[in-house]
Amino acid sequence: MGYKLYLQTQGKCIFDYSRSYFVNNQTQAKSIQLYNSLGGELVFDTNMFNYYKFSFGFRYSYLFHDDPLNANVNNTFEFFIPLVRF
């Protein structure tokens, strides 16, 4: 009997293609910004104390274009706990 029992491991590959349009009202200049990213995700389904089902995961993504808010950040690593699973 253990404290944590691993039931299932899921892996996903992710590609996202996004485009935003911006029009400056003062100069009427138009700009297009691309947000393409590629990454992966691992989700572990566990059974804590043989009673409570608990999931957690790790996500990595690489942004191909510059982020306007963080210009030098292209790699993102996240730890997450999904609350609702579809």
Residues 18-36 have pLDDT tens digits of: 888 888 778 878 888 888 9
Percent of the chain past pLDDT 90, that is, above it, reads 30
Closest alpha carbon to 56 in 8, 14, 1: 8
Q: What is the DSSP secondary structure assignment for residue 17, as one 8-state letter?
A: -
Cα separations in angstroms, 27 against 20, 22, 23, 58: 18, 12, 8, 43
pTM for the full predicted model: 0.69
